[in-house]
Amino acid sequence: MIKRILAVAALCLIGTTSVVSAENQHDNREAAMKKIGGAMGGLSAIAKGQKDYEADAVKASLTSIKETITVFPTYFPPGSEGDDKGASPKIWENKADFEARAKKLADDADALLAQLPADAAAVGAAMGTLGKDCASCHQQYRVKE
Ligand code: HEC
């Protein structure tokens, strides 16, 4: 009897988690990418001289990019392929490559944090490095909606 109750409880749990995660991934993915886009926007304003160079602001943007891209691949669990149109089915076929591209961006942001760009021109150069990482993943795995 107890076994039976446990089995039923386990089934309920499996049922709810899969429904919840299936519903949530679109928002998670979009929010993460918007956050990364916002951080890049902050760096861009400094690089273009629209905002004064501030080491703390540069650090905050790089940290946000690094932390957000580190969790980003967890928003693509098996079975969540249909959650949004922007994510290519190729992500699930090449999960290791997708994760490697995310890690490349995290590592590049990390390296920049270790040697913080010291002026607006250096921030511009840093954006060039990071921008290549965005493009390399988007070309492969982002579907233009
Ligand atoms: C590991 C892969 C990967 C990397 C690296 C990556 N992106 Fe993305 N990005 C995606 C995918 C996949 C989507 C589509 C997500 C969706 O529609 O749910 C996306 C979508 C976006 C969007 C649109 C979000 C929306 O409103 O729907 C923006 C903005 C964006 N990325 C910015 C960036 C920037 C800026 C960088 C680099 C600093 C970057 N991304 C790096 C995979 C990546």
7 versus 63: the higher-pLDDT residue is 63
The whole-angstrom separation of Cα 100 and Cα 106 is: 10
Closest-lying ligand 1 atom to the alpha carbon of residue 101 = 1
Closest-lying ligand 1 atom to the alpha carbon of residue 99 = 1
Contact yes or no for 113/66 (Cβ under 8 A): yes
The verdict on the CB of residue 76 being under 6 Å from ligand 1 is no
The whole-angstrom separation of Cα 79 and Cα 115 is: 40
Which protein residue's CA is at the shortest distance from atom 2 of ligand 1?
Answer: 137
Contact yes or no for 68/120 (Cβ under 8 A): no
pLDDT band for 18, please (50, 70, 90 cuts).
very low
The whole-angstrom separation of Cα 57 and Cα 62 is: 9
Q: Is pLDDT at 141 greater than 50 in this prediction?
A: yes
Which protein residue's CA is at the shortest distance from atom 39 of ligand 1?
Answer: 134
User: What share of the chain has pLDDT > 90, as a percent?
Assistant: 79
The residue written with tokens 């080491």 in the block is: 55
pLDDT band for 10, please (50, 70, 90 cuts).
low
Q: Which residues contact 47 (CB under 8 A, 6 or more apart)?
A: 120, 121, 123, 124, 127
